[in-house]
Amino acid sequence: MESITPPPPPGTAREGWAAALRQVLAYRDRYQIDDATDPLGSEAEGERGEAYSVAARGLHTITPPESGRSTPTVPRGPRRIERVPTVLAEARSRSEYVRRQAEERARPDQTDRQRGHETSRGW
- Give percent helix, percent strand, percent coil of the chain, each to the nearest 5: 60, 0, 40
pTM as predicted: 0.51
Q: What is the model's pLDDT at position 41? A: 84
Closest Cα to residue 58, out of 97, 98, 24, 29?
Answer: 24
Low-confidence ranges of the chain (pLDDT < 70): 1-4, 64-83, 109-111, 116-123
Euclidean distance between CA atoms 22 and 98, whole angstroms: 35
Q: What is the model's pLDDT at position 100? A: 92
88-113 residues labelled b (16+ CB within 10 A) or e (exposed)? eeeeeeeeeeeeeeeeeeeeeeeeee
